[in-house]
Amino acid sequence: MTAYRVEIRVVPRKGILDPQGQAVAGALHALGFDAVTDVRVGRHIVLETRAADPEGAGRAAREMCERLLANPVTEDFEIEQVVPAAT
Amino acid sequence: MTAYRVEIRVVPRKGILDPQGQAVAGALHALGFDAVTDVRVGRHIVLETRAADPEGAGRAAREMCERLLANPVTEDFEIEQVVPAAT
């Protein structure tokens, strides 16, 4: 088994209300950043996991997203990168 | 002025405790993902802002990070991408 580093991006699904993004936009406007027209806030997750190969690490990460890391109703996820972890 | 789309990544600074990452790791272990050895959770922010040029949009985004979007004590940020917003 090898240690792999997996980068995952979880974003609010398009068309779905993003209260956190709206709150950040409001705060930016309050600080004078009036040119900001939209803000979307998602999660960037970096995890390390042991797996037989990169495909196995990617499959496991996808299952982690489907079962825990991403809300299937309001969020989309993307496995950005699977690389051997720095040892 | 042109509308630009800026992607920002905010991550917990290395060496600093990441309670959210630890909580996610614990939950993944509870779901049977025992091969997971580390989890770091940061924010992925996509904002749209008007600016004279991409450099101006990037400078404004950097200032937004320094003043609001990233905690200067515990987090690092990176302006990943500045592109014209889809019209």
Structural domain including B41 reads 2-84
Q: Which residues of A touch B42 (CB under 8 A)?
A: 43-46
For the full predicted model, state whether its pTM sits above 0.80: yes
Contacts of residue A31 in chain B, CB cutoff 8 Å? Answer: 64, 67-68
Q: How far apart are CA B1 and CA B51, in angstroms?
A: 5
* CATH number of the domain enclosing A54: 3.30.1280.10
pLDDT of B87 higher than 70: no
Please say if the pLDDT value at position A87 is more than 80: no
Q: Distance between CA atoms of A28 and B37, rounded to whole angstroms?
A: 36
Predicted complex ipTM exceeds 0.90: no
Please give the tally of structural domains in chain A: 1
**Cα(A8)–Cα(A73) distance, integer angstroms:** 18
